[in-house]
Amino acid sequence: MLLVHGMLRQRPDVTPRSWPVYHGYASELARRGVAAAMLDHELVDGFHYPEAIQTVLAGLDTVRAADGVSGDRVAVWAFSFGGPLLLPVMARAEPWLRCVAGTYPLLSAELMPSWPDVPAALAGLGKRPLILTTVEHEMPDLVPGQTSFVRAAQGAGADLRHIAVPTAAHGFDLQTPTEQARTAVTPALDQLVATLLR
């Protein structure tokens, strides 16, 4: 599993690879028998998606080649403004890609010229599981893209597993842990792990 963080307004002293939230996700995946990797990419102080996707693709190559990893069973899980990085991964339709997931993601390619659009991404993914977690109190700019994406996935017959989290806000898993947050995160973990270990 490759975990992909969102956009940062400026480079922090502690980069996402060291954030407790991603250590938590990775630790739980490892506990369940899935190797988890996290990388820092170029979505800092701007929409540097062309650079970031090259880092993500290189990270996938590194993960797949690592000792003890089943390189033919890989998933990508993107968060927040890292969501558009899922679209090229989906569109490439690599045989080793087993599923993708997005948590409160931006799901639009409008900001990136020559980026795969949603129909092309869904066509590439085919019938592989697509696990999407959305929140009731989302950032307003992200809602239209999420709604449009869900409709497109349903219309394309995608294997969409939509987890809608009531009363939660964008970044809920970065806050103090609550039972509601655990209830929201656990189904996504369950489905991703089941797909990778199948």
Least confidently predicted of 39-43, 98-102, 157-161: 39-43
For the stretch 38-64, pLDDT in tens is 998 888 888 889 999 999 999 999 999
Nearest to 49 by CA among 6, 103, 90: 6
- pLDDT > 80? residue 111: no
Q: What is the pLDDT of residue 109?
A: 76
- pLDDT > 90? residue 145: yes
Confidence of residue 91 (pLDDT cuts 50, 70, 90): very high
Are residues 174 and 21 in contact, defined by beta-carbon separation less than 8 angstroms? yes
Q: What is the pLDDT of residue 58?
A: 95
For the stretch 8-31, pLDDT in tens is 876 777 777 888 888 989 999 999
Cβ neighbours for 19, distance < 8 A, ≥ 6 positions apart: 5, 174
Confidence of residue 167 (pLDDT cuts 50, 70, 90): confident
Superfamily of domain 2-193 in CATH is Alpha/Beta hydrolase fold, catalytic domain (3.40.50.1820)
SS3 per-residue string spanning 125-174:
HCCCCEEEEEEEECCHHHHHHHHHHHHHHHHCCCCEEEEEEEEEECCHHH
Q: Residue 57, CB half-sphere, CA atoms under 13 Å: how many? A: 15
How far apart CA 87 and CA 100 sit, in angstroms, is 10
Q: What angle do CA 95, 126, 118 make, to 5 degrees?
A: 110
Give the predicted TM-score (pTM) of the model. Answer: 0.93
- pLDDT > 80? residue 182: no
Alpha-carbon distance values, 137 to 38, 141, 184 (Å): 27, 11, 14
Q: Which tokens belong to 16? A: 């996402």
